[in-house]
Amino acid sequence: MSAGPSASRAAADTRWAGGAGETWSLRTVPLQASGSMWYVSTRGTAPRVDFEGALFAGYAPNGGLFMPEELPRLGEGTLRQWSALSYPGLVTELCTLFIGPELIPRDDLEGLVQRAFSRFRHRDVVPLSRLRNGLNVLELWHGVTYAFKDLSLCCTAQFLQYFLEKRGTHVTVVVGTSGDTGSAAIESVQGTESVDIVVLLPQGHCTKIQELQMTTAQGENVRVFGVEGNSDELDQPIKALFADEAFVRKHNLMSLNSINWARVLVQMAHHFFAYFRCAPSLDGPLLPPVEVVVPTGAAGNLAAGCIAQKMGLPIRLVAAVNRNDVIHRAVQRGDFSLSETVHPTLASAMDIQVPYNMERIFWLLSGSDSQMTRALMEQFERTGGVSLPKELQSKVSHCPQAPEKGKVQPRDTARLGV
C-alpha cells in the first residue's frame, strides 16, 4: 500500500514511540507501516483493536477509552511542511497517521474529508480572527449547527458510512446530549440509509435553538426524546446500556459522543491549524510555543490537545471552565471529584461534572499506566471522587494549566482561544 506523497515525505523525520513514555526515540517506523496502528484501552486488559474497531466500539469492553498504542513523534521538518496545509489537509494527514491505508486508502480518505467539510459556510472551515494584544480566536462555529462538534462529527459520520457500506450493515447511534452534540450528530447522519439515530435530550437543559434543531429534524432515520434530569444523570443509563454487550450487539448500537476516538482524532487538527496560524514564525531553529485556551466540558478537545502536544506540537494548554470546575480542582489540587450539583450556566455544553476524557489524559501523562488509570477511574466511579497521585497531579498541572478563575495570566507567547 502506498501512503501517498506527503505522508511518505513526513516519514523522514517522524518517529513512533510507545503510548506516552518519555522515550520518544524508541524506534523509528516508516509511515508506510502505519497500517498496523492499534488502539488499546486506558484500563488495560481488553484486546487491542484497529481504527474501525475503536470507531464502532465507543467504550472499550472494560469501561476504558481507546487510545493509540503508539504515538508518532513529529519532527520539526514535518511540522514546517504541515504549516502550509489547509484545515481539511491537516485532518487528512492526521487521519493517515492514525487510520492506516488498509482500512481507508489515501484517495478514499481525501474524498471523505472533503465531503465532510463541504457544507461548512467558511472557505477556511475554521478561520482565525486576530484580536488585540496577540490574542487570536479560532472560529469553530461555521458548521451547519454552529457547534464546534460539527467539525469532528461530520468526519466521524463519513468514516462510519464508509465502513457500513463496505460491510453492508446498519447501526443505531444513541446519543445523550446537553445540546451541541445532539444537533451536530443528527446533522452528520441525517438521511443516511445505513444509520438510525436516537437522541435523548435533557429537557430544559438545552438552548431553545438547539432543542428546535433537534426536534424539527426531518430525516426519517432521526428519533428525539426529551428526558428528565441533567446531562450527567443521563450519562449513567447510557453507560449502563452500552455495558450490556448482548443488547448492544443485538441492536447494533453505538455512540457518537466524545468518548469516540474518531472525534478526538479529528479534533487534534484544531490544535495544529491554530498553532500554524498563530506561531509568529517557523523559520528559526526552535519552534515558538503558542498558548491555547480551551473551553472545556468533557475534555475531548483538551485530550486532543494533550495528544498533539505529545506528538511534538509546541503548545501550552489552558483548560477554561465555568462554575462546574472539577478539572480546575484536579489540576490545582489533584481533587478529581464530583461537586454537589451541576450548576446550569450560559455555556451549557461546559456544564459537566464528569469530564470523561480526563481518563485519556491521565493515561497519557502517566506513561500509559493502565493499572493506575483503571484503579483511579474505578474508585471515581464507585465513590464520586479520587485524589490524583502526586506525580500524576504534577504532570497534569504542567500539561493543561487552570488559571485562577477570573484572572488572566500574562505570558509572552501568542495566545489563542479555540
Ligand X SMILES: *Cc1c(COP(=O)(O)O)cnc(C)c1O
- Provide the annotated active-site residues: 149
400 forms part of the interface with ligand X (CB under 6 A): no
- Written as nine digits, the cell of 87 is 484545515
- In the complex, what is the shortest distance from the CB of residue 149 to ligand X, in angstroms, rounded to a whole number? 5
Please tell me the distance from the alpha carbon of residue 192 to that of residue 6, in angstroms, as a whole number.
32
- Nearest 5°: the CA angle 207, 298, 418 is 80
With binding defined as CB under 6 A, does residue 177 bind ligand X? no
Among 287, 313, 349, 372, binds ligand X (CB under 6 A): 349
Is 51 or 356 the residue whose CB approaches ligand X more closely? 356
Q: Which is nearer to ligand X, 38 or 141 (CB)?
A: 141
Greatest alpha-carbon span in the chain = 57
Q: Decide: is 392 part of the binding site for ligand X (CB under 6 A).
A: no
361 binds ligand X (CB under 6 A): no
CB 305 within 8 A of CB 278: no
| Residue 178 beta carbon to ligand X: minimum distance, rounded to whole angstroms | 8
Q: Within positions 178 to 217, which residues make up the interface with ligand X, using CB under 6 A?
A: 180
Is residue 300 at the binding interface for ligand X, with CB under 6 A as the rule?
A: yes
Among 40, 253, 350, 377, binds ligand X (CB under 6 A): 350
| Residue 57 vs residues 53, 215, 271, 274, 308: alpha-carbon distances, Å | 6, 27, 25, 30, 23
CB 106 within 8 A of CB 4: yes
In sequence order, the 6+-apart residues with CB closer than 8 A to the CB of 83 are 276, 279, 282
**149 contacts ligand X (rule: CB under 6 A):** yes
Under rule CB under 6 A, which residues in 255-284 are in contact with ligand X?
A: 258
417 near ligand X, judged by CB under 6 A: no
In the bound state, the residue with its beta carbon closest to ligand X is 297
Please tell me whether residue 158 binds ligand X under the rule CB under 6 A.
no
Using CA atoms, how far residue 403 sits from 19, 85, 232, 327, 376, in Å, is 28, 32, 25, 11, 25
| 100 binds ligand X per the rule CB under 6 A | no
Instruction: Say how many residues make up the chain.
Output: 418
* Contact set with ligand X (CB under 6 A): 147-149, 180, 258, 295-302, 349-350
